[in-house]
Amino acid sequence: MRKLSLLSTALTALLVLAACQTTSAPESARSAPSADQAFTDLADQAWAFNQQNSGLLAPGARTAGAEARLADISPDTLAAATEQRKAYYAQITAIAPSQLSEENQINRDMILYALRNQISRIEHNMHLMPLTNETGPHNAIARLGDMFRIQNEQDAQTYLAVLRDIPTWLGQQTAYMREGVARGITQPQVVLRTFPQGVEAYVTQDPSESVFYRPMVHAQRNLSDEQARAFEIELQTVIATVVNTALMDFHDFLVEEYIPNARTDIAAHNLPNGEAFYANRVKHYTTLDLSPEEIHQIGLEQVALIRAEMEAVIEQVGFEGTFAEFIHFLRTDPQFYTDSADELLREAAWIAKQADAVLPRLFYRMPRTPYGVAPVPAEIAPNYTQGRYVRPSGDDQPGYYWVNTYAVETRPLYELEALTLHEGVPGHHFQIALAMEMENVPAYRQFTYISAFGEGWGLYAEYLGLETGFYQDPYSNFGRLTYAMWRAARLVVDTGMHALGWSRDEAVEFLGSNTALSLHNVNTEIDRYISWPGQALSYKLGLLTIQQLRAEAEEAHGRHFDVREFHDEVLRNGSVPLATLEQQVRAYIERKRQELEDA
């Protein structure tokens, strides 16, 4: 059936395009509408297929009468899905961008990006190591408790059935990881030292304290007392037996089999077909045609520029000592740290509200969706990064700026302004909320996140603090520069470790000696880059692209340059590849330049 459906789709697209080419109407009248329609149909089908075959739940799992279970990720299923994606990819690339409207040219870039990444996951065997130093399969299933809202008894039974399917799903993941061990495709041992603790954190003696118990809140509101009590008894039983047992089996597999047999080197280049794998990840995360060597050199140049600014701040505060001694002072002086998690969250929330107040100076368009400030969940916090933005999980949900409150003595206040502007507004929340609120665009335009754009914008948002009254304290300004240096150093250490033969110790030394990040954060960040090749490259390269476009707009528009108009133009199409961003923004720059000349 899949083959017949695929053949039918392909023939339909080819017939539509053939009709465009044989009609006697003028070229402009006959090609564009038909090509646009053929593309739209294919792209919509591809996205629907992607959604049905890449989620945590099986297609139709929530439908009444359907078998409620987690997604089947068996080898046959993954292979069939990959072939279908390849077919969609080939059909869409056969439609030349010149045949499409401007909107569909952007849509084409986006759907191809999404398909290409899913195809690459299988082609480069990423499914054989489905974890990083921060997250793994256990974190994925832990989201189930937040995904289900029990509205009726059918919902309750569906949720219980899905929980009972956890052993099968984790067993499939374990089989892939076991294959990875046999083929030398694993995460390095060094980044997995504390990983089993993260799995064990989800196993609770009291089922009512489990993350899987969370839907009980909705059940108590929406079910009768009798139904709610029956659901609670069964839910506690399933958590205590099925779920906890599956998690501990996965934990034991990690401790007894996976980690002892994981590879001892760290470079992506050293994996089977590693050079091609790392090149694929570099292209995916940067959307640019740059070699690891070129990116490494850009990083070294940026490090030198930022280091000069940092030295100027040290001179400004009158510190007498070396750069290393100043960093030690920042890492150890109690004045730069809070005494409690609550105090750190209050500081972050205060900065977030100050940031809200400056938005009208920077933008004409504002998102409707609010955001909150919350701690990184305790079960993942020890190995987690400083902070992160979590997009809304539904139309009636806010976004969240997560602040890592684990080991508050390692979370300096002088970095908090930069972190908040990056993760909240005008950074990730602002950009992602606007993208999710776009109208009259396909869903893949709203929900596909391109790291080079999104992280580049987040880093640019930190820079905007200079223009809106932040970083008045020189130590906070040094924190901003530390974050800027952190992202520049990523270009050096990521390429260094994965392509140029650097050791982990060399990377730790480079990041630690050039930034004021705590040593705890330095080590967790280096492990993140080891386990997630290429992702760290997106931030600085995205920032440099946006800054270059702004410089071009300022030069072209002179005194008529409008920063709010420029920002709205950058954000108006959502998260897009950098080449697409450059094309769209440069078209805007030229349009306005012509308008100014004609005025």
List, for residues 536-585, the tens digit of each pLDDT value: 999 999 999 999 999 999 999 999 999 999 999 999 999 999 999 999 99
Q: Which residue bears the tokens 């500081």?
A: 347
pLDDT of 19 over the 80 cut: no
pLDDT band, residue 500 (cuts 50/70/90): very high
In a domain, 599, yes or no: no
Instruction: Tell the burial category of 462 from Cβ atoms under 10 Å away from its Cβ (0-12, 13-18, 19+).
Output: buried
573 in the Ramachandran plot: left (φ > 0), alpha (ψ -120 to 50) or beta?
alpha
Same domain, 475 and 394: yes
Angle between helices 504-514 and 474-499 in degrees, nearest 10? 160
Same domain, 370 and 488: yes
* Sign of the alpha-carbon torsion through 579, 580, 581, 584: positive
The answer on 453 and 306 residing in a single domain is yes
- Coil/strand/helix, residue 436: helix
Using an 8 Å Cβ cutoff, are 319 and 306 in contact?
no
Which of 306, 359, 313 minimizes the C-alpha distance to 540?
A: 306
Alpha helices by DSSP H, 191-335? 195-200, 216-222, 225-238, 244-253, 259-261, 274-286, 292-316, 323-332
Q: Are 29 and 70 contained in the same domain?
A: yes
Residue 28 in any domain: the answer is: yes
Does residue 566 form part of some domain? no
Mean pLDDT, residues 503-508: 98
Q: Strand, coil or helix: what is 320?
A: coil
CATH number, domain of 20, equals 1.20.58
| 174 lies in the same domain as 317 | no
Identity of residue 461: A
- Residue 375 DSSP SS3: strand
Instruction: Check whether residue 307 and residue 200 sit in a common domain.
Output: no
Amino acid at 269: H
Domain end position, chosen among 97, 123, 149 = 123
**481 and 341 inside one domain:** yes
**For residue 327, what are its two tokens?**
């960093």
With 0-12 / 13-18 / 19 or more C-beta atoms within 10 angstroms meaning exposed / middle / buried, residue 446 is: middle
pLDDT of res. 14? 37
**Residues 192 and 310 placed together within one structural domain of the fold:** no
Question: Looking at residues 222-236, what average pLDDT do you find?
Answer: 97
Single out the residue in 54, 89, 123 at which a domain terminates: 123
List the 399-403 sheet strands across, edge first.
Answer: 371-375, 399-403, 387-390
**Cis previous bond, 260, omega within 30:** no
Does residue 13 lie within any of the structural domains? yes
- The total of structural domains in the chain comes to 3
Q: What angle do CA 38, 446, 574 make, to 5 degrees?
A: 100
pLDDT digits (tens, 9 = 90+) for 332-368: 999 999 999 999 999 999 999 999 999 999 999 999 9
Residue 464 forms part of a structural domain: yes
Same domain, 326 and 474: yes
Q: Let me know if residue 560 belongs to a domain.
A: no
Q: Is the pLDDT of residue 255 over 50?
A: yes
The CA distance from 419 to 471, in Å, is: 12
Picking from 121, 118, 127, the residue whose alpha carbon sits closest to that of residue 180 is 127
- Tell me, yes or no, whether 341 and 489 share the same domain: yes
Task: Give 70's strand partners.
Answer: 57
Residues 374 and 474 in one domain: yes
Residues 333 and 478 in one domain: yes
The model's pTM is 0.89
Cα–Cα dist 387/462, whole Å: 14
Asked, for residue 598, whether it belongs to a domain, the answer is no
Give pLDDT tens digits for 445-456: 999 999 999 999
Q: Is 132 helix (H, G, I), strand (E, B) or coil?
A: coil
Q: Looking at the predicted structure, is the pLDDT value of residue 192 above 90?
A: yes
Q: Establish if 564 belongs to a structural domain.
A: no
What is the DSSP-derived secondary structure letter of residue 240? I
**Per residue in 25-84, pLDDT tens?**
444 444 445 899 999 999 999 999 998 898 899 887 777 656 789 999 999 999 999 999
* Position 11 pLDDT exceeds 60: no
Alpha-helix runs per DSSP H in 337-473? 341-358, 416-423, 428-436, 443-447, 451-464
Positive or negative, the Cα torsion across 476, 478, 482, 483? positive
Q: Using the structure block, give the residue that is written with the tokens 């002088």.
A: 414
- Rounded to a whole number of angstroms, the CA Rg of the chain reads 25
End-of-domain residue from the set 239, 264, 289: 264
How many whole angstroms separate alpha carbon 280 and alpha carbon 285? 9
Domain residues for the domain of 72 are 2-123
